[in-house]
Chain A
Protein backbone atom coordinates (compact mmCIF):
# COMPACT_ATOMS: atom_id res chain seq x y z
CA UNK A 1 0.00 0.00 0.00
CA UNK A 2 2.96 2.29 -0.64
CA UNK A 3 1.77 5.19 -2.80
CA UNK A 4 4.24 6.08 -5.58
CA UNK A 5 4.95 9.56 -6.89
CA UNK A 6 2.81 10.72 -9.78
CA UNK A 7 -0.36 9.00 -8.63
CA UNK A 8 -1.97 11.62 -6.39
CA UNK A 9 -2.78 15.28 -7.11
CA UNK A 10 -0.26 17.78 -5.67
CA UNK A 11 -2.89 19.30 -3.35
CA UNK A 12 -3.60 15.87 -1.86
CA UNK A 13 0.14 15.27 -1.36
CA UNK A 14 0.39 18.58 0.52
CA UNK A 15 -2.57 17.70 2.75
CA UNK A 16 -0.90 14.36 3.53
CA UNK A 17 2.24 16.11 4.76
CA UNK A 18 0.23 18.68 6.74
CA UNK A 19 -1.72 15.97 8.54
CA UNK A 20 1.11 13.49 9.10
CA UNK A 21 4.04 15.67 10.21
CA UNK A 22 2.51 17.05 13.46
CA UNK A 23 1.46 13.55 14.57
CA UNK A 24 4.92 12.14 13.79
CA UNK A 25 6.58 15.00 15.67
CA UNK A 26 4.29 14.42 18.67
CA UNK A 27 5.05 10.69 18.57
CA UNK A 28 8.83 11.24 18.53
CA UNK A 29 8.49 13.66 21.43
CA UNK A 30 6.31 11.28 23.46
CA UNK A 31 8.45 8.23 22.81
CA UNK A 32 11.64 10.11 23.70
CA UNK A 33 10.08 11.25 26.93
CA UNK A 34 8.12 8.26 28.13
CA UNK A 35 9.57 5.01 26.80
CA UNK A 36 11.28 2.99 29.53
CA UNK A 37 15.06 2.63 29.18
CA UNK A 38 14.74 -1.15 29.19
CA UNK A 39 12.37 -1.00 26.19
CA UNK A 40 14.60 1.13 23.94
CA UNK A 41 16.27 -1.99 22.40
CA UNK A 42 12.88 -3.71 22.18
CA UNK A 43 11.44 -0.80 20.23
CA UNK A 44 14.41 -0.79 17.83
CA UNK A 45 14.16 -4.57 17.39
CA UNK A 46 10.44 -4.32 16.70
CA UNK A 47 11.16 -1.73 13.99
CA UNK A 48 13.68 -4.12 12.40
CA UNK A 49 11.26 -7.05 12.62
CA UNK A 50 8.38 -5.15 11.05
CA UNK A 51 10.67 -3.91 8.28
CA UNK A 52 11.61 -7.48 7.39
CA UNK A 53 8.00 -8.70 7.69
CA UNK A 54 6.86 -5.96 5.29
CA UNK A 55 9.19 -7.34 2.60
CA UNK A 56 7.44 -10.71 2.49
CA UNK A 57 4.16 -10.44 0.59
CA UNK A 58 1.54 -13.14 0.89
CA UNK A 59 -0.94 -14.03 -1.88
CA UNK A 60 -4.60 -13.01 -1.57
CA UNK A 61 -7.50 -13.09 -4.06
CA UNK A 62 -7.28 -12.34 -7.77
CA UNK A 63 -3.51 -12.52 -8.14
CA UNK A 64 -3.04 -9.78 -5.58
CA UNK A 65 -0.58 -9.82 -2.72
CA UNK A 66 -0.44 -8.13 0.66
CA UNK A 67 2.06 -7.77 3.45
CA UNK A 68 2.06 -7.09 7.15
CA UNK A 69 1.92 -3.37 7.94
CA UNK A 70 2.63 -3.90 11.63
CA UNK A 71 1.14 -0.66 12.99
CA UNK A 72 -1.38 -2.53 15.14
CA UNK A 73 1.23 -4.99 16.41
CA UNK A 74 3.52 -2.15 17.47
CA UNK A 75 0.60 -0.27 19.08
CA UNK A 76 -0.49 -3.40 20.97
CA UNK A 77 3.01 -4.05 22.34
CA UNK A 78 4.37 -0.55 23.00
CA UNK A 79 1.55 1.95 22.44
CA UNK A 80 0.21 4.24 19.74
CA UNK A 81 3.04 6.81 19.87
CA UNK A 82 5.64 4.05 19.68
CA UNK A 83 3.80 2.59 16.69
CA UNK A 84 3.78 5.90 14.81
CA UNK A 85 7.52 6.27 15.60
CA UNK A 86 8.37 2.73 14.41
CA UNK A 87 6.32 2.94 11.19
CA UNK A 88 7.83 6.35 10.41
CA UNK A 89 11.37 4.97 10.69
CA UNK A 90 10.44 2.05 8.44
CA UNK A 91 8.63 4.12 5.80
CA UNK A 92 11.47 6.66 5.57
CA UNK A 93 14.06 3.89 5.07
CA UNK A 94 11.85 2.11 2.52
CA UNK A 95 11.38 5.35 0.59
CA UNK A 96 14.90 6.78 0.65
CA UNK A 97 16.99 3.61 0.52
CA UNK A 98 14.82 1.10 -1.34
CA UNK A 99 12.62 3.39 -3.46
CA UNK A 100 9.45 1.82 -2.05
CA UNK A 101 6.79 4.56 -2.05
CA UNK A 102 7.31 7.99 -3.52
CA UNK A 103 9.32 10.65 -1.74
CA UNK A 104 6.66 13.27 -2.52
CA UNK A 105 3.98 10.79 -1.45
CA UNK A 106 5.76 9.98 1.82
CA UNK A 107 3.38 12.26 3.73
CA UNK A 108 0.38 10.24 2.50
CA UNK A 109 2.13 6.95 3.23
CA UNK A 110 2.91 8.16 6.75
CA UNK A 111 -0.71 9.24 7.15
CA UNK A 112 -2.24 5.98 5.86
CA UNK A 113 0.08 3.45 7.49
CA UNK A 114 1.81 5.14 10.43
CA UNK A 115 -0.87 7.53 11.68
CA UNK A 116 -4.20 5.92 10.73
CA UNK A 117 -2.80 2.41 11.18
CA UNK A 118 -1.48 3.15 14.65
CA UNK A 119 -4.53 5.14 15.79
CA UNK A 120 -6.99 2.52 14.53
CA UNK A 121 -4.96 -0.39 15.83
CA UNK A 122 -4.21 1.16 19.19
CA UNK A 123 -7.74 2.52 19.63
CA UNK A 124 -9.53 -0.74 18.84
CA UNK A 125 -7.13 -2.71 21.03
CA UNK A 126 -7.63 -0.33 23.96
CA UNK A 127 -11.41 -0.61 23.61
CA UNK A 128 -11.60 -4.40 23.38
CA UNK A 129 -8.63 -5.83 25.28
CA UNK A 130 -10.54 -6.07 28.56
CA UNK A 131 -13.05 -8.44 26.87
CA UNK A 132 -10.66 -10.60 24.89
CA UNK A 133 -7.01 -9.84 24.25
CA UNK A 134 -6.87 -12.18 21.25
CA UNK A 135 -10.04 -10.87 19.59
CA UNK A 136 -8.83 -7.32 20.27
CA UNK A 137 -5.48 -8.09 18.59
CA UNK A 138 -7.17 -9.54 15.48
CA UNK A 139 -9.72 -6.73 15.06
CA UNK A 140 -7.14 -4.02 15.79
CA UNK A 141 -4.87 -5.38 13.07
CA UNK A 142 -7.71 -5.87 10.58
CA UNK A 143 -9.08 -2.36 11.03
CA UNK A 144 -5.64 -0.72 11.00
CA UNK A 145 -5.15 -2.03 7.44
CA UNK A 146 -8.74 -1.63 6.26
CA UNK A 147 -9.14 1.98 7.43
CA UNK A 148 -5.74 2.89 5.97
CA UNK A 149 -6.88 1.40 2.66
CA UNK A 150 -10.13 3.39 2.74
CA UNK A 151 -8.08 6.53 3.36
CA UNK A 152 -5.98 5.69 0.30
CA UNK A 153 -9.19 5.19 -1.70
CA UNK A 154 -10.42 8.60 -0.58
CA UNK A 155 -7.09 10.12 -1.64
CA UNK A 156 -7.34 8.45 -5.06
CA UNK A 157 -10.91 9.69 -5.54
CA UNK A 158 -10.11 13.21 -4.35
CA UNK A 159 -7.06 13.39 -6.62
CA UNK A 160 -9.19 12.37 -9.59
CA UNK A 161 -11.90 14.93 -8.78
CA UNK A 162 -9.46 17.79 -8.12
CA UNK A 163 -7.38 17.20 -11.24
CA UNK A 164 -10.17 16.43 -13.68
CA UNK A 165 -8.84 12.91 -14.17
CA UNK A 166 -5.13 13.72 -14.51
CA UNK A 167 -4.34 12.00 -11.20
CA UNK A 168 -5.93 9.24 -9.14
CA UNK A 169 -8.91 7.17 -10.20
CA UNK A 170 -12.67 7.72 -9.78
CA UNK A 171 -13.91 7.20 -6.23
CA UNK A 172 -16.61 4.81 -7.45
CA UNK A 173 -13.84 2.49 -8.63
CA UNK A 174 -11.33 3.18 -5.86
CA UNK A 175 -13.52 2.46 -2.82
CA UNK A 176 -14.96 -0.95 -3.78
CA UNK A 177 -11.67 -2.21 -5.19
CA UNK A 178 -9.53 -1.09 -2.24
CA UNK A 179 -12.14 -2.39 0.20
CA UNK A 180 -12.35 -5.79 -1.53
CA UNK A 181 -8.60 -6.42 -1.67
CA UNK A 182 -7.91 -5.06 1.79
CA UNK A 183 -10.59 -7.15 3.46
CA UNK A 184 -8.38 -10.14 2.63
CA UNK A 185 -5.09 -8.35 3.34
CA UNK A 186 -6.58 -7.17 6.66
CA UNK A 187 -7.53 -10.74 7.55
CA UNK A 188 -3.92 -11.76 6.82
CA UNK A 189 -2.68 -8.92 9.02
CA UNK A 190 -5.12 -9.98 11.74
CA UNK A 191 -4.03 -13.62 11.65
CA UNK A 192 -0.31 -12.74 11.78
CA UNK A 193 -0.78 -10.19 14.57
CA UNK A 194 -2.99 -12.61 16.53
CA UNK A 195 -0.32 -15.32 16.17
CA UNK A 196 2.53 -13.06 17.26
CA UNK A 197 0.59 -11.74 20.28
CA UNK A 198 -0.42 -15.25 21.38
CA UNK A 199 3.19 -16.43 20.97
CA UNK A 200 4.62 -13.47 22.89
CA UNK A 201 2.04 -13.91 25.62
CA UNK A 202 3.48 -17.38 26.21
CA UNK A 203 7.22 -16.71 25.83
CA UNK A 204 7.52 -13.02 26.83
CA UNK A 205 4.41 -11.91 28.75
CA UNK A 206 6.33 -8.90 30.09
CA UNK A 207 6.47 -7.54 26.54
CA UNK A 208 2.70 -7.80 26.02
CA UNK A 209 2.20 -6.14 29.42
CA UNK A 210 4.79 -3.41 28.74
CA UNK A 211 3.93 0.21 29.42
CA UNK A 212 2.15 1.72 26.40
CA UNK A 213 3.33 5.14 25.21
CA UNK A 214 0.23 6.85 23.86
CA UNK A 215 -0.08 9.99 21.76
CA UNK A 216 -2.07 11.75 24.49
CA UNK A 217 -2.35 11.26 28.22
CA UNK A 218 -0.06 9.44 30.61
CA UNK A 219 1.51 6.11 29.62
CA UNK A 220 -0.74 3.18 30.50
Chain B
Protein backbone atom coordinates (compact mmCIF):
# COMPACT_ATOMS: atom_id res chain seq x y z
CA UNK B 1 0.00 0.00 0.00
CA UNK B 2 1.51 3.32 -0.98
CA UNK B 3 1.99 6.41 1.16
CA UNK B 4 -1.31 7.96 0.04
CA UNK B 5 -3.33 5.04 1.39
CA UNK B 6 -1.33 4.85 4.61
CA UNK B 7 -2.05 8.54 5.20
CA UNK B 8 -5.75 7.97 4.53
CA UNK B 9 -5.81 5.03 6.98
CA UNK B 10 -4.02 7.12 9.62
CA UNK B 11 -6.53 9.94 9.09
CA UNK B 12 -9.38 7.49 9.70
CA UNK B 13 -7.84 6.38 13.00
CA UNK B 14 -7.33 10.01 14.10
CA UNK B 15 -10.90 11.00 13.18
CA UNK B 16 -12.22 7.94 15.02
CA UNK B 17 -10.25 8.86 18.14
CA UNK B 18 -11.54 12.45 17.98
CA UNK B 19 -15.18 11.47 17.61
CA UNK B 20 -15.26 8.75 20.30
CA UNK B 21 -15.69 11.27 23.17
CA UNK B 22 -18.50 12.99 21.23
CA UNK B 23 -20.17 9.62 20.71
CA UNK B 24 -19.91 8.74 24.40
CA UNK B 25 -21.18 12.15 25.48
CA UNK B 26 -24.26 12.25 23.28
CA UNK B 27 -25.17 8.82 21.91
CA UNK B 28 -23.75 5.93 23.95
CA UNK B 29 -26.45 3.61 25.31
CA UNK B 30 -29.27 5.16 23.31
CA UNK B 31 -31.18 2.95 20.87
CA UNK B 32 -31.23 3.49 17.14
CA UNK B 33 -34.37 4.01 15.03
CA UNK B 34 -35.12 0.29 14.72
CA UNK B 35 -34.60 -0.40 18.43
CA UNK B 36 -36.88 2.49 19.41
CA UNK B 37 -39.54 1.39 16.92
CA UNK B 38 -39.47 -2.19 18.21
CA UNK B 39 -39.55 -1.20 21.88
CA UNK B 40 -42.41 1.26 21.32
CA UNK B 41 -44.30 -1.37 19.29
CA UNK B 42 -43.93 -4.03 21.97
CA UNK B 43 -41.64 -6.29 19.96
CA UNK B 44 -38.71 -8.32 21.20
CA UNK B 45 -35.58 -9.54 19.51
CA UNK B 46 -32.44 -10.32 21.38
CA UNK B 47 -32.26 -14.10 21.09
CA UNK B 48 -28.86 -14.12 19.45
CA UNK B 49 -28.09 -17.33 17.62
CA UNK B 50 -24.44 -16.14 17.61
CA UNK B 51 -23.36 -13.51 20.15
CA UNK B 52 -20.20 -12.57 18.27
CA UNK B 53 -16.59 -13.09 19.31
CA UNK B 54 -16.22 -9.60 20.79
CA UNK B 55 -18.30 -6.54 21.53
CA UNK B 56 -17.81 -2.87 20.76
CA UNK B 57 -16.76 -2.17 24.35
CA UNK B 58 -18.42 -0.08 27.05
CA UNK B 59 -15.77 2.58 27.53
CA UNK B 60 -13.89 4.84 25.10
CA UNK B 61 -10.63 2.86 25.23
CA UNK B 62 -12.31 -0.49 24.56
CA UNK B 63 -14.42 1.04 21.77
CA UNK B 64 -11.32 2.56 20.22
CA UNK B 65 -9.57 -0.83 20.32
CA UNK B 66 -12.64 -2.51 18.77
CA UNK B 67 -12.72 0.16 16.07
CA UNK B 68 -9.07 -0.33 15.18
CA UNK B 69 -9.57 -4.10 15.08
CA UNK B 70 -12.66 -3.69 12.90
CA UNK B 71 -10.86 -1.25 10.63
CA UNK B 72 -8.05 -3.76 10.13
CA UNK B 73 -10.47 -6.65 9.60
CA UNK B 74 -12.57 -4.74 7.06
CA UNK B 75 -9.47 -3.60 5.21
CA UNK B 76 -7.96 -7.09 5.12
CA UNK B 77 -11.24 -8.85 4.27
CA UNK B 78 -12.17 -6.51 1.40
CA UNK B 79 -8.62 -6.56 0.02
CA UNK B 80 -8.27 -10.32 0.47
CA UNK B 81 -11.60 -11.24 -1.15
CA UNK B 82 -10.84 -8.98 -4.09
CA UNK B 83 -7.36 -10.43 -4.52
CA UNK B 84 -8.70 -14.00 -4.36
CA UNK B 85 -11.51 -13.22 -6.81
CA UNK B 86 -9.13 -11.60 -9.29
CA UNK B 87 -6.55 -14.38 -8.92
CA UNK B 88 -9.24 -16.99 -9.47
CA UNK B 89 -10.38 -15.25 -12.63
CA UNK B 90 -6.80 -15.08 -13.91
CA UNK B 91 -6.15 -18.74 -13.08
CA UNK B 92 -9.37 -19.69 -14.80
CA UNK B 93 -8.12 -18.12 -17.99
CA UNK B 94 -10.72 -15.38 -17.67
CA UNK B 95 -8.67 -12.26 -17.11
CA UNK B 96 -10.18 -9.39 -15.19
CA UNK B 97 -11.70 -6.91 -17.58
CA UNK B 98 -8.92 -4.73 -19.01
CA UNK B 99 -8.87 -1.21 -17.69
CA UNK B 100 -10.20 1.19 -20.33
CA UNK B 101 -8.01 4.12 -21.34
CA UNK B 102 -8.27 6.97 -18.86
CA UNK B 103 -9.63 10.19 -20.33
Contacts and interface: CB of A to CB of B under 8 A. Distances in A.
Interface of A: 1-8, 28-29, 31-38, 40-45, 47-52, 55-60, 62-67, 85-86, 89-90, 92-100, 102-104, 149, 152-153, 156, 160, 167-170, 173-174, 177-178, 181-182, 185, 211, 219
Nearest to B63: A55
Chain B interface main SS type: helix
Given A55-B56, A58-B27, A100-B56, A7 B49 contact: no
Contacts of B77: 47, 89, 92-93
Nearest to A67: B32
A59 B26 contact: yes
Interface of B: 1-2, 5, 8-9, 12, 15-16, 19-20, 22-23, 26-28, 30-34, 36-38, 40-56, 63, 66-67, 69-79, 81-83, 85-86, 88-89, 94, 96-97, 99-100
Contacts of A168: 43
B56 A98 contact: yes
Given A32-B96, A48-B74, A59-B27, A181 B33 contact: yes
B55 A99 contact: yes
Contacts, number: 228
Contact of A57 (B27, B81, B86): B27
B16 A52 contact: yes
A170 B20 CA distance: 36
Given A7-B44, A36-B99, 19 more contacts: A32-B86, A32-B88, A32-B89, A33-B89, A34-B96, A37-B99, A40-B82, A42-B5, A44-B75, A48-B78, A52-B15, A55-B63, A56-B27, A64-B32, A64-B33, A96-B53, A99-B52, A99-B55, A169-B37
Tell which of A32, A66, A104, A169 has the most Cβ of chain B within 10 Å: A32
A182 B97 CA distance: 39
Contacts of A64: 30-33, 36
Contacts of B34: 1-3, 149, 152, 178
Contacts of A43: 78-79, 82
